[in-house]
Structure 1
Amino acid sequence: MSSTPKRVLVVEDETEIRELIALHLRREGYLVDDLGTGDLARTQLSKQPYDMVIVDWMLPGLSGLELTRWIRTELKQLQLPILFVTAKTDPEHVAAGLDAGADDYLAKPFDTLVLMARVNALMRRKSWMDSFNVESEQSPHAHILIGELKLDRDAYEVYLRDEKLDLTKSEFKLLEALMMSQGKVLTRKTLIELIQGDGVNVVGRTVDTHVFGLRKKLKDHSELIETIRGVGYRVKLLNG
């Protein structure tokens, strides 16, 4: 972890679970606030910035799903990592949670080693993306334009000329990283870190599959993504 402690908000109505999560986070050096309702969390998020939110789905009043949607749409914290820790683990609920804006999904009961591995992976991904926001001339919410391809980080949308592309969340994150680092090679390991939290176990070949899908959707811009054999991928520099 960096020298500046990261702040995490834990939102869980079961006291024992909330305290267990908070305990392990503090042992890892995180600053932790823990609350028992979604309504209290919404109030707290309105006045205090956080580096991550860990939230249960089933909460009194405002649910975890509703809180997540509020964070993304009303608070407009699109880059804030959100981890669901919940007993709702059927495919429909997992899909709904990810669609609402969660970055990862951990089923109850959970192993605390797995919990902390997920938290640390999401934090690494956030730090990696934040480093681009600092180094890039683009603002954190700017459009990224390469040729006729435009990526809107604020709206999570990609357009090829005037056509909106239907990308999965993982495809969007991969394309965002590649476009932000135009001309630089991103290794498979780096790309795995970026999408590891999307509710799937990611391996190198999974990255290849996502890139294959991206290229199909990019149509005549597919050649923008170059394969660096044995290393990873990059978006090539365009002249002019």
Structure 2
Amino acid sequence: MSSTRILIVEDEEALSTILEYNLKKEGYETVLAVNGDDALLKVEEEMPDLVLLDWMLPNVSGIEVCRRLRTRNETKNIPIIMMTARAEEADKVRGLDTGADDYLVKPVSHVELVARIKAVLRRIRPGLAEEAVVFGDIEMDRSAHRVKRGQVEIHLGPTEFRLLDHLMQNPGRVFSREQLLNAVWGSDVFVEARTVDVHIGRLRKALTKNGEVNPIRTVRSAGYALELTDKD
């Protein structure tokens, strides 16, 4: 993990300090930039493994920084996570269309931030990602195919394991049944959408066997999301 360098681009000093502290605590190497011009310079000098990029920056905006990085051969594949207070769906789409790999709305919890960083690294640069995935008190060892919650081992079937793995890679994101079917079962396999409900139910039962809080939220007419919540 220590070899993974994250460039934090944030003009609010207090937030930048908190982000740096939390990421260093997780074992990441950090580099700071306070504006868009500084960010582009630091990318050239440091060549980070991932960029944590604020949208609203002085001089050159985060969107413009993202666009420029994506147009250069040497930086076009650097994973970028955008952070912003802009919560509108159109803003999120614009950020992703510009080339961001993920999009977080402030304020961002430490748990979700670290989980999103690990998820992006797994997708974009698997060699930088750990086999151990953690979300709250849930720990997954992907190589050993084991799951623990609060140090107690949880026994999951193969489908429930893949389902949890996918949700843990994308914490907080709402997936429709069809999206989960494609991701877990495969787009070329015919399975009824309601099958997802059955396996979500099994996964919830396993994760709450000892009275723990249910971490899987049902979003009416939309799908499911993995969150630190006591709602179902």
Letter in 2 for 1:24: N
Distance 2:99 2:168 in 1: 15
TM-score (structure 2 length as normaliser): 0.59
Distance 2:168 2:44 in 1: 27
Q: Is the 8 A contact 2:85 2:106 kept in 1?
A: yes
CA drift of 1:192 comes to 3.5
Matches within 5 A, 1:142-221: 192=166, 196=170, 200-202=173-175, 205-208=178-181
The 3 A distance-change label for structure 1 pair 78 and 210 is farther
CA drift of 1:129 comes to 7.0
Equivalent in the alignment of 1:143: none
CA drift of 1:200 comes to 3.6
CA drift of 1:53 comes to 0.2
Matches within 5 A, 1:1-240: 1=1, 4-128=2-126, 192=166, 196=170, 200-202=173-175, 205-208=178-181, 226-227=188-189
Distance 1:56 1:112 in 2: 16
Letter in 2 for 1:227: V
CA drift of 1:228 comes to 9.3
Q: Is the 8 A contact 2:70 2:76 kept in 1?
A: yes
**Identity %, equivalent residues:** 32
Distance 2:127 2:164 in 1: 11
TM-score (structure 1 length as normaliser): 0.57
CA drift of 1:201 comes to 3.1
Letter in 1 for 2:59: G
The 3 A distance-change label for structure 1 pair 31 and 206 is same
Q: Is the 8 A contact 1:85 1:106 kept in 2?
A: yes
The 3 A distance-change label for structure 1 pair 228 and 127 is farther
Distance 2:118 2:174 in 1: 15
Distance 1:18 1:227 in 2: 45
Q: How many residues align?
A: 161
CA drift of 1:80 comes to 1.6
Question: Which deviations, in whole Å up to 9, do the C-alpha atoms of 1:150-202 show, x marking residues without a partner?
Answer: xxxxxxxxxxxxxxxxxxxxxxxxxxxxxxxxxxxxx95599379838x9434
Which ranges in structure 1 are unaligned for 5 or more consecutive residues?
132-186, 216-224, 231-240
**Helix, strand or coil: the match of 1:227?**
coil
